[in-house]
Structure 1
């Protein structure tokens, strides 16, 4: 007698394509990529049925429920990998401006009027394929600290529809790009191009402003994804207190350039820049006789000369 076979996340495969139009699952252009976890789920709540006069057994028990509206959303945790992270930056910020030949620089920026949507297929096993149609990016979150392992990011997604299939719809996908991971411990913060000291951790949040739109269109699934709200780049910087500098900057409401950077060399690096970021005063609370910390929330803005957020990815990938 042998052990019972179970489904394992390590054996799943994720393919994606940006070739489809909204509401139509792509048939070409699929590429494989890597991830840690995902919580993509199509929820369809069961609603109360208040119908009267249906000839039921009694007046106290519930009637058969009604189906609510479907909602497709969830998070995917991905490595901040110099080759693969560009796929997610494209979904969050739009296609980059790429320069170079062998060694390339891909410049992404916030502020696009529209953003792409994406179809994802996850192979769970033989004859078991979960297809997620017309996904858009709602937000990006990064936690930065001097920790072991690869730097990770969480991308929140929303979309139209999930379909269960017994065969792949991805055709013949491209080969997977060679991985080029970034260690979490090599992250760095620069303030006005000067390396900041005594940074304990940071959290970055970028919200695209995307939301689901529903029309009267003979379909109970989402009809569109729109950029209804302003995009926002916010976060928090936790520091070991060593003086009044950051508190004074916050008090004065002085815009500062914040650059979060990971570098493996001049041709392999990631830079996330808020050209005009404002800090909130944090105070200097004393929690006891030990070391003093302070946490500064920040919010970025666009200026007359530049977008709110600029991301530069340097690698050997020809295009995104």
Structure 2
């Protein structure tokens, strides 16, 4: 009897033409570390009386399909998740290509994801997937991964794959040592760690349907937040927080072979932080920043990826 193992699990993704309808082709194999994407349907216990102490059989409740995938931040595959989060990019160049994803789109693309465990065999197709949020942490060492939160319309199970042979990508991962954080175009000194989170704040359309699935998910007011932790060595960030001024933050990675990923947040506000002295070691200060749209209405955040893919 075969038993499912994560080492043999497979994931593939393709964007949909019609929401909730998996495309017949065009799937791409996606690298991932973990996945909690799944559908669940709880049971409602019977409340009826007069049938003795033992309860009557329960009934099914509404179906919920969502979860997250933890993926490597790389030069090629991560662009698919960025397209889900922001919409199709503006692409320029003739190889390498520069893809610019921008926030602010009212309409976001949906996609289908198949997660397969071939040894059972069990293949789950999640249709109507949309990116609710993505986040990651920057540090000095360790594996660089991003958590992508998804909302799906539903799950369909099969004993065989429904996608044929998916396309494959070259895995070119960025590492923490490839990273940089800049304020107004200048590297921030004494930075210990950084976190950033983008949220679409999807609003699920939970209509009455015979199949129990949602009607869709509409993007609401977006949010770009995070924090930066620095060794307290000067008052530059503290003075900005006290004064209420905005600054531009840029989080970037670059490989020696030319591939790059840059997150630009042009208008960031810092809160006034607490400066705690917890012992004889160096004093660290954490600024939990928030971003806003630019004064001229330009996007709150843009993600630029440079790679060899012609288009997403």
Match of 2:301 among 294, 309, 317: 309
For the 8 Å contact 2:196–2:227, the answer to whether it is kept is: yes
Task: Work out the CA distance in 1 between the residues paired with 2:47 and 2:23.
Answer: 40
Structure-2 residue corresponding to 1:157: 150
Task: Work out the CA distance in 1 between the residues paired with 2:238 and 2:229.
Answer: 12
Q: Report the 3-state secondary structure (helix = DSSP H, G, I; strand = E; otherwise coil) of the residue aligned with 1:250.
A: helix
Task: Work out the CA distance in 2 between the residues paired with 1:66 and 1:92.
Answer: 36
Matches within 5 A, 1:17-166: 17-52=14-49, 56=51, 58=52, 60-126=53-119, 127-149=121-143, 151-166=144-159
Q: Under a length normalisation based on structure 1, what TM-score does the superposition of the two structures give?
A: 0.93
Q: Is it true that 1:11 corresponds to 2:11 in the alignment?
A: no
Match of 2:275 among 275, 280, 284: 284
Structure 1, unpaired ranges of 5+? none
Q: Shift in Å at residue 309 of structure 1?
A: 0.5
For the 8 Å contact 2:260–2:305, the answer to whether it is kept is: yes
Task: Work out the CA distance in 2 between the residues paired with 1:265 and 1:251.
Answer: 39
Task: Work out the CA distance in 2 between the residues paired with 1:217 and 1:129.
Answer: 24
Structure-1 residue corresponding to 2:173: 181
For the 8 Å contact 2:205–2:216, the answer to whether it is kept is: yes
For the 8 Å contact 1:278–1:298, the answer to whether it is kept is: yes
For the 8 Å contact 2:16–2:109, the answer to whether it is kept is: no
For the 8 Å contact 2:132–2:151, the answer to whether it is kept is: yes
Write the deviation string for residues 33-63 of structure 1: whole angstroms up to 9, x where unpaired.
Answer: 111000012111111222345xx3x1x3332
Task: Work out the CA distance in 2 between the residues paired with 1:62 and 1:217.
Answer: 28
For the 8 Å contact 1:20–1:119, the answer to whether it is kept is: no
Q: Under a length normalisation based on structure 2, what TM-score does the superposition of the two structures give?
A: 0.95
Q: Report the 3-state secondary structure (helix = DSSP H, G, I; strand = E; otherwise coil) of the residue aligned with 2:240.
A: helix
Q: Report the 3-state secondary structure (helix = DSSP H, G, I; strand = E; otherwise coil) of the residue aligned with 1:249.
A: helix
Match of 1:262 among 253, 257, 261: 253
Task: Work out the CA distance in 2 between the residues paired with 1:311 and 1:35.
Answer: 20
Write the deviation string for residues 14-46 of structure 1: whole angstroms up to 9, x where unpaired.
Answer: 111103422222212111111100001211111
Structure-2 residue corresponding to 1:251: 242
Which sits farther off after the overlay, 193-202 or 14-23?
Answer: 14-23
Task: Work out the CA distance in 2 between the residues paired with 1:295 and 1:61.
Answer: 56
Structure 2, unpaired ranges of 5+? none
Task: Work out the CA distance in 1 between the residues paired with 2:22 and 2:48.
Answer: 37
Q: Deviation above 6 Å: which 4+ runs of structure 1?
A: none
Task: Work out the CA distance in 2 between the residues paired with 1:267 and 1:256.
Answer: 28
Task: Work out the CA distance in 2 between the residues paired with 1:266 and 1:14.
Answer: 27
Task: Work out the CA distance in 1 between the residues paired with 2:150 and 2:12.
Answer: 15
Aligned pairs, number = 310
Q: Shift in Å at residue 307 of structure 1?
A: 0.4
For the 8 Å contact 1:19–1:29, the answer to whether it is kept is: no
